[in-house]
Amino acid sequence: MYVMRHLAFYSIAAMLVLTGCTTQGNKKPLTEAESRQYAESGKLIVKTTFEVLSGHLSQALARGGVSEAVTYCNLRAYPLVDSLSGEYNARIKRATIWVRNADNKADADEEMVLKEYAALKSGQKPMKPIVRRKDNGDVAFYMPIQITTPLCLNCHGDVGTDITAADYNIIKKLYPNDNATGHSMEDLRGIWSITFFEKQPIGKEF
């Protein structure tokens, strides 16, 4: 009797551990079809966001220079980013290690991806989009952000040449710890980091 109870206890404990593992997150590797689907959504989110962002940036620069445009390189300036996040149940972020806004600092996973892209770039290999299942079951999509247009140099190039001292004062006032200048064309500036949540975020559960 004692042994039986003991056995029953251990098997229930084992079951709890096992189900605990499966409910903790879907860690199954992505199938090829799933990866393709996430890559497509990721690329669409990035393309849509980037087009709106660079359109507003160039209009604002033309309208009133850096002082006018300085708030338009922030994803929070765009309601579109919120609606895409809701539509895809995703978090849309740009991450870098050369940060202007500390909110955009790369986490450990993103830093690893940045290093992978940097190595590919220095080996002159293509920096392709990456789709990866995270430990918690979410799916991450990454794409490099490069300085692809001289437009970016107005605020991320060399101070004194690309960026006038007066304009840099405006940036410095808003971002005293800025570390996002000195870039040249084609530089790796950071990454797009899109997290597709496996579960509804807290608060949206029913």
Judged by beta carbon, residue 35 or residue 46, the one nearer ligand HEC is 46
Q: How far is the CB of 102 from ligand HEC (least distance, A)?
A: 8
Q: How far is the CB of 149 from ligand HEC (least distance, A)?
A: 5
Judged by beta carbon, residue 114 or residue 133, the one nearer ligand HEC is 114
Rounded to 5°, the CA angle 129-75-206 comes to 85
Judged by beta carbon, residue 133 or residue 156, the one nearer ligand HEC is 156
Q: How far is the CB of 82 from ligand HEC (least distance, A)?
A: 15
Judged by beta carbon, residue 65 or residue 137, the one nearer ligand HEC is 65
Chain centroid offset of residue 9 CA: 45
Q: How far is the CB of 112 from ligand HEC (least distance, A)?
A: 17
Q: How far is the CB of 197 from ligand HEC (least distance, A)?
A: 22
Q: Which residues bind ligand HEC (CB under 6 A)?
A: 54, 57, 66, 69-70, 73-74, 94, 96, 99-101, 104, 145, 147, 149, 151-152, 154-156, 180, 189-190
Judged by beta carbon, residue 45 or residue 73, the one nearer ligand HEC is 73
